[in-house]
Amino acid sequence: MVNPDVTTIGLQTGFYVLFAIIAYFVESGQEFKWRTASDLRWVILDTFVLIFIYGLYRFREGLTHQAYDIESKKDTPQEPLVQSDAATNAPALIRNAERTAGNTAEQLPLFILSMWLYGNVRPVTAGVMGGIELLLIALYPFLYGTGKKHGALLPISTIPRYIMNEYMAVASVMTIFGLVRKAADDA
């Protein structure tokens, strides 16, 4: 039997190697330099919108707990304990609110860090990737729970976000350490 931890580590390592190869060519001639706020305006906007969306998701989570009379998250290990005469789909609604806020919180640190680092390599591209990330984050609550367990369509929101975050991080680190191909006129 295949060890899932080994498989996960192997896949993750493979993705980082792939991103490094892509970054070597795509980031050709780029250099990391601290940018001005004007250069980073789209990155700044994406950051504020992300914080706003995250706040909305946390607020939604709290309202959902209040609406279904859930005292605390510890009362909801798998199937939430609904103490009111709520609708029969209350556990699914509660889980959706919790996972939406939780998934955003899980990806938020890598997204912020990688987007800001990459913004100092390619500010406009980082801003565009940040905007795409925000759209995918906004889709998450609509896609969670569309299947048997989490949602058959959920990877539409999560997988591209992982790919963009990890690519921006790898490309930024490679650029910082000068591991990208030099520009043609520098050769």
Q: What is the DSSP letter of 170?
A: H
Buried-exposed string 117-139: b where 16+ CB fall within 10 A, e elsewhere: bbbbbbbebbbebbeebbebbee
Using CA atoms, how far apart are residues 95 and 64, in angstroms rounded to an integer?
A: 10
pTM of the model: 0.83
Using CA atoms, how far apart are residues 134 and 50, in angstroms rounded to an integer?
A: 7
118-167, pLDDT tens digit by residue?
999 999 999 999 999 999 999 999 998 765 666 788 899 999 999 999 99
61-113, pLDDT tens digit by residue?
999 888 877 765 555 555 544 444 445 667 788 889 999 999 999 999 999 99
Tokens 């490094």 correspond to what residue?
A: 20
Query: Which tokens sit at 1?
Result: 């039997």
